[in-house]
Structure 1
Amino acid sequence: MKILVTGGGGFLGQALCRGLRARGHEVVSFQRGDYPVLQTLGVGQIRGDLADPQAVRHAFAGIDVVFHNAAKAGAWGSYESYHQANVVGTQNVLDACRANGVPRLIYTSTPSVTHRATHPVEGLGADEVPYGEDLRAAYAATKATAERAVLAANDAQLATVALRPRLIWGPGDNHLLPRLAARARAGRLRMVGDGSNLVDSTYIDNAAQAHLD
């Protein structure tokens, strides 16, 4: 199959591309920059912006499956910048899938779409957890809007699914573990609370396999 990964040059994107190539698929990445590592993997690269509907539609021609992994994450930036990348970009992906007859779309979402200001989400199955109320962080709010659109688009012509990996880490990580290690070496790694407050995390290979299987 010919498979397109949005944001294939990122941490999870590279793992997806590597896994798809290992399974014998032809893989193309749609991204804003160039990544030599993808060329080494034999992954085709198309430079473009998800906010450009024509560029997205052109890139999706002849594609059998799309992994929509690209997003604007983090905590810094205007709401509009998050909206353009995460909401407009995702709608352009959905429209391009429809226009090109792409039958399957796998969307990388986030547990942040269920965040609540008043109490944590505990004891519920994945399908029972409601979306967060009054999401004030631009990332969480726009990813929730995008996830709703992806799941609402699911039908006989386009099968869609959303996955919510949390704090992905592992070989190749240049964000989470390096920062924690640097703070620990400097003696500045502090514990919040009494140690009983825990957060889920996802190993990179597990996150990739969940998408691919």
Structure 2
Amino acid sequence: MKVLVAGGTGFIGRNLVRELHERGHEVTVLARNPDEADVPDGVERAMGDVTALASIEGAFEGQDAVVNFVALSPLFKPPRGLTHMSVHLGGTQNIVRAAEEHDVGKIVQISALGADPTGPTDYIRAKGQAEEVVKRSDLRWTIFRPSIVFGEGSEFLSFTKMLTPPYLAPLPGGGKTRFQPIWVEDFVPILADGLDEAHDGEIYRIGGPEVLTLADVAKLVRRAEGQPVTVVPLPMALAGAGLKVGGAIPGFPMGADQYRSLKFDNTVPDNDATEFGVDPEEMTTLGEYLGVTSGEFS
């Protein structure tokens, strides 16, 4: 199968590119700077910006499927000149249009848990509206809504380190926001399987083997570096006020939207990994990945 991976130079995207290549697919990476991509020999590269339709159309010619990984992180403020709507919604609109015009058969859309066109954050609203574009298209489609994905180069771990200084760490609400982290190497085989027709028209909510609070994650990350940490609850109202002020400062990495994202959990009610023959209990935990046992942060 000929597969175009839009955003294939990112953290999850480059892992999927490797997985697809190892499975024998003909893979093309579409990115703004594809020459910088760390991809296996034999993977093609195409330059384009999904917010500019004319720049990407040529990459869709002759493709059987497209995987849309293009995204802005929900953890940090978007770079100047970009918004969640322009990238997630506008980019998806352009990808769908180019795919339809070039007779691409299928799109695999990487969305987010809680995606909702009228949701509580810009990120969640943009992801929800992008899903609607995909579902209304003429393409066969499969949508994935993952929890936080971790691994080498993941923003989640660097974000946690930034938010959590060693020894004493004030976390919004005491770090009670819950996540269900999944290791990237457990996730990408599921994504690759999503190209199969058997998964057409489905929305899959995928999480890892355990539910952890932000405080749990912080303690694991610091313990792995030999730096114990005590979490001090920071009232949500105070944290919100601080981020609102800080968000107005150029270069400050977080803002009101990131604060709102910490007010709701990022977990799955039922883990759809089982639909791909995967037992969540056999997945790699965050503690195992970091070399820290789960009992060490309780």
**What band does the TM-score fall into relative to the shorter chain?**
0.7 to 0.9
Alpha-carbon RMSD: 2.5
* Separation in structure 1 between the aligned mates of residue 84 and residue 176 of structure 2, nearest angstrom: 33
Whether the aligned pair in 1 keeps the contact of 2:47 and 2:56 (CA below 8 Å) is: no
Q: Secondary structure in 2 aligned to 1:207?
A: helix
Match of 2:47 in 1: 47
Between the two structures, name the one with larger relative contact order (CA 8 Å, sep ≥ 6): 1
Equivalent position to 2:130, from 143, 146, 168: 146
Q: What 5-or-longer segments of structure 2 have no aligned partner?
A: 194-298
Distance 1:79 1:151, change over 3 A: farther
Distance 1:81 1:182, change over 3 A: closer
Shift of 1:191: 6.1
Q: What 5-or-longer segments of structure 1 have no aligned partner?
A: 114-130
Letter in 2 for 1:142: A
Identity percentage over the alignment?
27
Aligned residues: 190
Shift of 1:202: 1.7
Distance 1:103 1:199, change over 3 A: same
* Separation in structure 2 between the aligned mates of residue 71 and residue 194 of structure 1, nearest angstrom: 29
Letter in 2 for 1:168: V
Bigger Cα displacement from structure 2, 80-89 vs 12-21? 80-89
* Separation in structure 2 between the aligned mates of residue 209 and residue 11 of structure 1, nearest angstrom: 15
Distance 1:192 1:55, change over 3 A: closer
Letter in 2 for 1:200: Q
Letter in 1 for 2:179: V
1:167 and 2:169 matched: no
Shift of 1:52: 1.4
Equivalent position to 1:211, from 181, 191, 208: 191
- Post-superposition Cα deviations, 1:33-89, rounded to whole Å, max 9, x if no partner, equal 132412x44322111110111222211001111111111223414796222211111
Whether the aligned pair in 2 keeps the contact of 1:21 and 1:41 (CA below 8 Å) is: no
Whether the aligned pair in 1 keeps the contact of 2:48 and 2:55 (CA below 8 Å) is: yes
Shift of 1:185: 7.1
Whether the aligned pair in 1 keeps the contact of 2:106 and 2:141 (CA below 8 Å) is: yes
Displaced runs of 4+ in structure 1, greater than 6 A? 182-185
